[in-house]
């Protein structure tokens, strides 16, 4: 969308970011004994950053937000700007301890050619998806996992416990105070480092019966170590959620009526709250610590439910049903963002002149999207 002719609004032009990815994959499996089986695969991924586009050139090939580019390269449509490739092996093993008990282990490597750079403040969660290119390498992730799996009561129940460890290379994050909106030189606002994650997952599932569903719980941690961020110390990215619990229950009352309940609980996301403020041109500016994401939002939780009614066919050639659902049934106000501001004259939206100001005080304004959200739908098929 462009401004109308004569508008005082000036359009913002940004350079496109285009890439082409191809993958080739081989997979095979073999039962070595009656109890032991192996499955393996090899994936070859190829990625090319292509034009049209512009590549900025920097002194010593080091992008710096404080120094302008020394030159630019122009690329036409489908001109190759940068090429990456990588082999992604994977192997999985299973050993049967008995008719209903098994041990499983796996290793896999993945390359990801598009990464997300997210701001760490408590304000609006502005994310910028960044494709691999001349200055940003694809992230490489190696993961190992092992667990025990148990079927109970003639496969009516499933129980599993699995642990994992994941190693990241060439992972990106934003500099402190980075400018990411409408910025073609995003490489100047990004720093690269390594990271790792680990955790354990628990799952209990009921497969059959009028009432079925599952209960899952995961404890996991994610860390990054990037020079230039958090004084070089390890820190949690925004999506680090140590505790994650989910309960899903489905119940069939009779041939026409059924319902389900879904409960979710997670640790609040990691963020950086200001540690103080200073005044510039009569405006209060937040002051942040050098350490990244030492604070957290309140824990996130909500309850959803739905009720389904199947309309009797009565000889018709099509079937229909009604569904009533309630999202966030108890109206939990899960925060979406926090704004650190000030209240003037006890009025959050004060719009008077500076001469009318008699009091100021700092304030924190929480934004949430909605509380409970009901929905009614009619579905049919033929």
The Cα–Cα gap between 98 and 148 comes to 12
Segment among 57-71, 73-87, 173-187, 325-339 with least mean pLDDT:
173-187
Sequence ranges of the domains in the chain: 102-381
> Which residues in 83-105 are b (16+ Cβ under 10 Å) and which e?
ebeeebebebbbeeeeeeebeee
Query: What local confidence, expressed as pLDDT, does residue 319 receive?
Result: 87
Read off the pLDDT of residues 144-202 as tens digits, 9 standing for 90 and up.
999 999 999 888 999 999 999 999 999 999 988 788 878 889 999 999 999 999 999 99
Spell out the long-range contacts of 88-92 with Cβ–Cβ below 8 A and sequence spacing 24 or more: 88/42, 88/43, 88/44, 88/45, 89/40, 89/41, 89/42, 89/43, 90/40, 90/41, 90/42, 90/43, 91/38, 91/39, 91/40, 91/41, 92/38, 92/39, 92/40
Which residue has 């650190």 as its token pair?
340
CB atoms within 10 A of CB 13: 7
Alpha carbon distance, N-terminus to C-terminus of the chain: 40
- 122 pLDDT tier (thresholds 50, 70, 90): low
Read off the pLDDT of residues 2-36 as tens digits, 9 standing for 90 and up.
677 777 777 777 888 899 999 999 999 999 999 99
Question: Is the backbone peptide bond immediately before 52 cis, with ω within 30 degrees of 0?
Answer: yes
What's this model's pTM, rounded to 2 decimal places? 0.87
Read off the pLDDT of residues 228-283 as tens digits, 9 standing for 90 and up.
999 999 999 998 999 999 999 999 999 999 999 999 999 999 998 888 877 777 67
The Cα–Cα gap between 354 and 364 comes to 22
- 82 pLDDT tier (thresholds 50, 70, 90): very high
Q: Could you tell me the maximum CA-CA distance found in the chain, to the nearest angstrom?
A: 86
Question: Alpha helix (H) ranges present in the chain?
Answer: none
The Cα–Cα gap between 320 and 381 comes to 6
Say what percent of the chain tops pLDDT 90: 69
Q: Is the dihedral of CA 232, 234, 235, 240 positive or negative?
A: positive
The yes-or-no verdict on residue 220 having pLDDT over 80 is yes
The yes-or-no verdict on residue 123 having pLDDT over 70 is no
């Amino acid at each position: 969308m462009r401004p109308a002719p004569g508008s005082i609004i000036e359009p913002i032009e940004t350079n496109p970011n285009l890439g082409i990815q191809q993958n080739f994959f081989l997979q095979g499996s073999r039962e070595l004994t009656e109890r032991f089986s192996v499955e393996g695969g090899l994936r070859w991924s190829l990625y090319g950053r292509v034009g049209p586009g512009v590549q900025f050139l920097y002194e010593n090939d080091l992008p710096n937000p404080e120094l302008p580019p020394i030159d630019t390269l122009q690329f036409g449509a489908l001109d190759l700007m940068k090429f990456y490739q990588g082999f992604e092996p994977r192997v999985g093993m299973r050993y049967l301890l008995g008719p209903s008990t098994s041990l499983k282990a796996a290793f896999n490597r993945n390359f990801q050619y598009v990464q997300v750079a997210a701001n760490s403040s408590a304000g609006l969660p502005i994310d910028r998806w960044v494709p691999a290119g001349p200055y940003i390498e694809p992230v490489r992730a190696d993961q190992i996992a092992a667990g025990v799996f148990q079927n109970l009561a003639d496969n009516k129940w499933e129980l599993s416990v699995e642990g994992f460890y994941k190693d990241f290379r060439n992972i990106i994050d934003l500099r402190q105070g980075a400018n990411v909106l409408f910025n073609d030189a995003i490489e100047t606002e990004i720093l690269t480092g390594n990271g790792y994650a680990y955790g354990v997952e628990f799952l209990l599932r009921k497969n059959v019966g009028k009432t079925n569903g599952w209960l899952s719980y995961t404890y996991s941690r994610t860390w990054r170590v990037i020079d230039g961020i958090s004084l070089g110390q390890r820190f949690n990215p925004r999506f680090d959620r140590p505790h994650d619990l989910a309960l899903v229950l489905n119940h069939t009352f009779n041939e026409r009526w059924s319902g389900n309940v879904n409960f979710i609980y997670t640790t609040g996301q990691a963020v950086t709250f200001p540690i103080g403020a200073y005044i510039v041109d009569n405006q209060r500016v937040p002051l942040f610590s050098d350490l990244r994401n030492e604070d957290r939002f309140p824990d996130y939780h909500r309850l959803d439910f739905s009720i389904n009614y199947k309309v009797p066919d009565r000889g018709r050639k099509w079937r229909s049903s009604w569904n009533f659902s309630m999202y966030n049934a108890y109206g939990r106000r899960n925060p979406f963002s926090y704004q650190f501001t000030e209240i003037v004259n006890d009025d959050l939206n004060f719009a008077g002149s500076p001469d009318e100001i008699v009091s100021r005080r700092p304030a924190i304004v929480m934004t949430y999207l909605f509380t409970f959200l009901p929905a009614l739908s009619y579905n049919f098929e033929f």
